[in-house]
Structure 1
Amino acid sequence: MIRPAALAVCLALFSVPAGAGDLGTVRTFQDWTAGCDNGRACTALNLLAEDGASIWFLRLDRNADAAAPAQLTLMPQSETYPRAGTLRLRAAGVDIATLRFGEGFRSEDDGLVIEDRKAVAAVLTAMRSADKLEVISAQQPAGTEVLASISLVGAKAALLWVDERQQRIDTVTALVGRGSKPASAVPAPLALPMAVPERTTDGGPPPETLAEATRSEMIRQSAGYCDEDRGGPDPDSKSMVRLGPDLLLASVRCFSGAYNFGRAYFLLEGEVASVRPALFPRPVEQKVEEDKELTPDNVLWNADFAPNSTEISHFAKGRGMADCGETGVWRWDGHAFQAVSMTEMNSCRGIMAGYWPSTYSSWE
């Protein structure tokens, strides 16, 4: 049976060896996590300490283009970080870069993107050899010089994994596995699929209620993978969308927990509804399983619809504070639901969903 606890267990995975073609996955290397999408665009970031001593983290993003630079972003995750003076970056007890506000870095998406290429090179060197990166602000009170301490334990392994995924090993473009091969040896990025255009709901509003026979048939079809205890009122029974004049997307409760609520979705067709599963394909590797039983493609966790739209999103939380899990977005193309995007975080260490590595992307 599928239960919310299964997600937390399965997301606590440590890294295992993977081939260069193993895209759409996320791996953890001690205090670092890395992931690459289906176009070989990769992200690596450090996980926060369990004691909550610092909420800053460092994120590296790199596209698959041979000439793409590594982008480094300091993420303060706080509105109270200094916005004047300088930030000094220190590794192994030595200052490696000085960044002035308004020079050398820019604010973007709640982070501080390091634009000074010498500073980027210095931080990358530290990531290959040091245990931590310290962020020091001249605005800090005396005696509390270090503003943030960012663990670099596992960073080198994460960067090597990114090099492998992007097939940069032994080239001059590699972050860790550098060699003499020219940038032209790096293969071109994989083409991303085109996203299905977002469609408005079709055929008018959904019905207020479903026939009991239809609901019973959905429960019967999902009995093998949903919890047995589904009796009593179903507060989300009205979460239905009209996909066409004679086609309805509806669902029944599959399980519920403290912070996850799962539903099994079905397509109901015709006046006397025929019932079949509504599939939300996962084009990348799945981690959610229990006793080797995979989550069926018609089950979504904490699903939500865009207003007046056939776009549906899912947010599987690994624990209540939602710092690990999986997100996904699908759109109806007139015949089936197609994936638009997916992200994943496999370690519950304080990184919120907006910063998780992308495992599947499309372009619009």
Structure 2
Amino acid sequence: MRPTLLIAALAVTHLASQAATLPVYREFKEWLVACSNSGHCVAKGFDQYAGTTVMLLEQAPGPAGETSLTLGFQTTGKVPPQPLRLGGLPLSSEAWALQQEADDYAEIHSLDDAEARKLLAAISRKQTLALTGSQGEVLANFNADGLAASLLLVDEAQGRLGSRNALLRVGNKPASSIPPARALPVLRPGAPGSPAVDDEEAARLLHAVRKLEPDCVMEGDTQPDGEVSALSPREAIVLLQCGQGAYNTSYVVYRTQRQGKARPVRVNLPGLGTLLQPGYWVMNASYDSASQTLSQYGKGRGLGDCGDSTSWVFDGSHFLLSQYSHQGRCGGMALMDWPLLWDTTILPRKP
């Protein structure tokens, strides 16, 4: 290898070694941090089980990664025009934009990366932050308890510690020392499942799976229903209902040959370390034969302000994890807007 290429390769290796193992999900008091396998990080701060205020930080990976901070809060009418202050610090109209589309909710968005980082560093040691109007009136109170630890984790996960573009632990290292975004795994789905499963075939395959899951009984001891879809001309996927709550329905996942006597086998869906356990149980599941994608989501409570969602792509032989989002803390104001922890690049299927 030529010296210049060797130096470049060593530099990339050195940058990659500075960042933490990804993905990352942690909770610190009233905050959570989620960094995906690409290195994109989200930090949220809100009172658990409450939906009056939320602070949302999104930090893109890489030396030029955008820093975006949003303050969302409930209101009882129109928010007065700026100047506004957060924790006593001014939010200038040049660096912050107020958006209010309804009388009961408003958001303040950062317009300048450096100003957002400067504000975060200044307020990180506080526990509560009052948003005040031009007359000193309190418009909302934000919870910053856990913010400092959250910023530090984002810096660590993205290799920002000690750099000029760090969120908390700022140093003299140039922004170029920050590693770039990680490359996403590449998946390619198999050919669309065909021919479609008709009603007679679906009933036969569901019956075969029910015999293997005698404990799957729905409310009132009714026979569990399910969904059967084509994986290929030879195989089908069977989703059998196996329990129902107020807002979640659980399923077991099988695959079986379509011709002859059905011999279903459980599908052991891949997980993601301690974040997502492998297994054949899923929630609120569905399968799309056109994209060969199995999807599921589970609400932590009926509102949908916590929970997780997952998708797997069938590549013609195996199910591969294609996307995973998770939020363990319930609260905030965005429903089913759970931070992304795993993502992939899905290529067009081969002709």
Q: Are the structure 2 counterparts of residues 87 and 215 from structure 1 closer, same or farther at C-alpha, using a change threshold of 3 Å?
A: farther
The alpha-carbon deviation at position 61 of structure 1 amounts to: 0.9
Instruction: Please tell me whether residue 276 in structure 1 is matched to residue 265 in structure 2.
Output: yes
Take 1:57 and 1:71, find their aligned partners in 2: how far apart are those partners?
A: 14
Please list the CA deviations of residues 46-99 of structure 1 after superposition, one character each: whole Å capped at 9, or x if unmatched: 02354x4x6231111112212213211223478x874773361321xx242133
Instruction: Please tell me whether residue 204 in structure 1 is matched to residue 196 in structure 2.
Output: yes
Residue type of the alignment partner of 1:278: V
Instruction: Please tell me whether residue 127 in structure 1 is matched to residue 115 in structure 2.
Output: no
Instruction: Please tell me whether residue 236 in structure 1 is matched to residue 225 in structure 2.
Output: yes
Unaligned runs of 5+ in 1: 1-18, 221-227, 288-294
Residue type of the alignment partner of 2:254: F
Identity value in percent: 24
Q: Are the structure 2 counterparts of residues 178 and 117 from structure 1 closer, same or farther at C-alpha, using a change threshold of 3 Å?
A: closer
Take 2:307 and 2:61, find their aligned partners in 1: how far apart are those partners?
A: 25
Residue type of the alignment partner of 1:134: A
Residue type of the alignment partner of 1:274: R
Structure 2 counterpart of 1:98: 92
2:53/2:332 contact within 8 Å kept: no
Take 2:86 and 2:79, find their aligned partners in 1: how far apart are those partners?
A: 19
1:218/1:266 contact within 8 Å kept: no
Please list the CA deviations of residues 4-29 of structure 1 after superposition, one character each: whole Å capped at 9, or x if unmatched: xxxxxxxxxxxxxxx95342231111
Q: Aligned pair count?
A: 320
Residue type of the alignment partner of 1:186: I
Q: Are the structure 2 counterparts of residues 132 and 306 from structure 1 closer, same or farther at C-alpha, using a change threshold of 3 Å?
A: farther
Q: Are the structure 2 counterparts of residues 363 and 76 from structure 1 closer, same or farther at C-alpha, using a change threshold of 3 Å?
A: farther
Q: Are the structure 2 counterparts of residues 344 and 66 from structure 1 closer, same or farther at C-alpha, using a change threshold of 3 Å?
A: same
Q: Are the structure 2 counterparts of residues 39 and 214 from structure 1 closer, same or farther at C-alpha, using a change threshold of 3 Å?
A: same
Q: TM-score, normalised by structure 1?
A: 0.75
Residue type of the alignment partner of 1:128: S
Take 2:229 and 2:98, find their aligned partners in 1: how far apart are those partners?
A: 42
Take 1:362 and 1:217, find their aligned partners in 2: how far apart are those partners?
A: 36
1:203/1:243 contact within 8 Å kept: no
Q: TM-score, normalised by structure 2?
A: 0.78
Take 1:219 and 1:171, find their aligned partners in 2: how far apart are those partners?
A: 56
Q: Are the structure 2 counterparts of residues 113 and 329 from structure 1 closer, same or farther at C-alpha, using a change threshold of 3 Å?
A: farther
Structure 1 counterpart of 2:249: 261
The alpha-carbon deviation at position 174 of structure 1 amounts to: 1.6
Structure 1 counterpart of 2:15: none
**Superposition pairs for residues 120-159 of structure 1, below 5 Å?**
120-136=116-132, 145-159=137-151
Match of 1:302 among 275, 281, 284: 284
SS in 1 for 2:240: strand
Structure 2 counterpart of 1:65: 62
1:234/1:253 contact within 8 Å kept: no
Q: Are the structure 2 counterparts of residues 81 and 152 from structure 1 closer, same or farther at C-alpha, using a change threshold of 3 Å?
A: farther
1:105/1:113 contact within 8 Å kept: yes
Q: CA RMSD in A?
A: 3.4
Structure 2 counterpart of 1:15: none
Q: Are the structure 2 counterparts of residues 210 and 55 from structure 1 closer, same or farther at C-alpha, using a change threshold of 3 Å?
A: farther
1:87/1:135 contact within 8 Å kept: no
Please list the CA deviations of residues 229-264 of structure 1 after superposition, one character each: whole Å capped at 9, or x if unmatched: 626334532x22112222111022333323322111
SS in 1 for 2:203: coil
Please list the CA deviations of residues 22-46 of structure 1 after superposition, one character each: whole Å capped at 9, or x if unmatched: 4223111111110111111111010
The alpha-carbon deviation at position 299 of structure 1 amounts to: 1.4
Instruction: Please tell me whether residue 174 in structure 1 is matched to residue 166 in structure 2.
Output: yes
2:38/2:182 contact within 8 Å kept: yes
- Which deviates further from its counterpart, 202-211 or 26-35? 202-211
Larger RCO: 1 or 2 (CA < 8 Å, sep 6+): 1
Structure 2 counterpart of 1:30: 29
Residue type of the alignment partner of 2:66: P
Please list the CA deviations of residues 87-115 of structure 1 after superposition, one character each: whole Å capped at 9, or x if unmatched: 61321xx2421338xx843869x965311
- Bigger Rg, structure 1 or 2: 2
Structure 1 counterpart of 2:84: 88
1:322/1:353 contact within 8 Å kept: yes
Take 1:55 and 1:87, find their aligned partners in 2: how far apart are those partners?
A: 22
